[in-house]
Structure 1
Amino acid sequence: MLKGFKDFLMRGNVIDLAVAVVIGTAFTVIVTAFTDSLIQPLINALGGSDAANGLGFRILGDNEATFVDIGNVISAVINFLLIAAVVYFLFVLPLRKVQERRRRGEESGPAEPTDVELLAEIRDLLREQRVKE
């Protein structure tokens, strides 16, 4: 039972999907807090034409809603780069090493069904279809 589950996990894009979900939920909060609390104030300290709002400028000087916040864009890019680095070094790189060992034959991969198992499965499916008719 556990071997079948391991085979399922190591097949196709299941690992890629799991990585995306985990990274999207767990690391986004941490990285956002890091950039909002540490990086954003440093970027805002650089100032601009409106030092109260941080790095950016107003398109219309008297309208607060026209402030173009360049600091937030820089912060979002840093968020993306940090999350991408975590995904790559903690998930993608180790998985590639496992796949490389499998290619070299050092570690066994997911078990492929034999011809007999496939034929038995086809027979059972055909039998089920006959019963339904």
Structure 2
Amino acid sequence: MLNGFKTFIMKGNVVDLAVALVIGAAFTSVVQALVNNVLMPLVALIFGVQNFDHFLAFGDVRFGVLLTAVVNFLLVAAAIYFVIVLPMNKMIEHRNRRLGIVEEEAAVDPQIALLTEIRDSLATRP
């Protein structure tokens, strides 16, 4: 039983997931600092408010809180994409070009290829 657990824990995908979780948790403060101290003040300059919590409030129903959460989510997603994902993809692309690594074309499913051939054959019939 312990050997099975050890095998499970030592699998690459479990270790990768654990590392990603720890890095993600550590990176949360960086992204929150960017959103709260850089992007949200820009939103405040544009809209005149730091958040939308009191926007569209009807008694106890406050749609503004949801709007603030959605704006925060979009800002976090944009920050991660433009600050992390896009530069990382460019760096990987540059490294691959430097090393002469060419991406393989996506393998075509044999069934899809056969169906495409049948479709093209039927299209040429009178």
TM-score (norm 1): 0.43
Between 1 and 2, higher relative CO (CA 8 Å, sep ≥ 6) is seen in 1
State which structure, 1 or 2, has the greater radius of gyration over its C-alpha atoms: 1
The TM-score with structure 2 as length reference comes to: 0.45
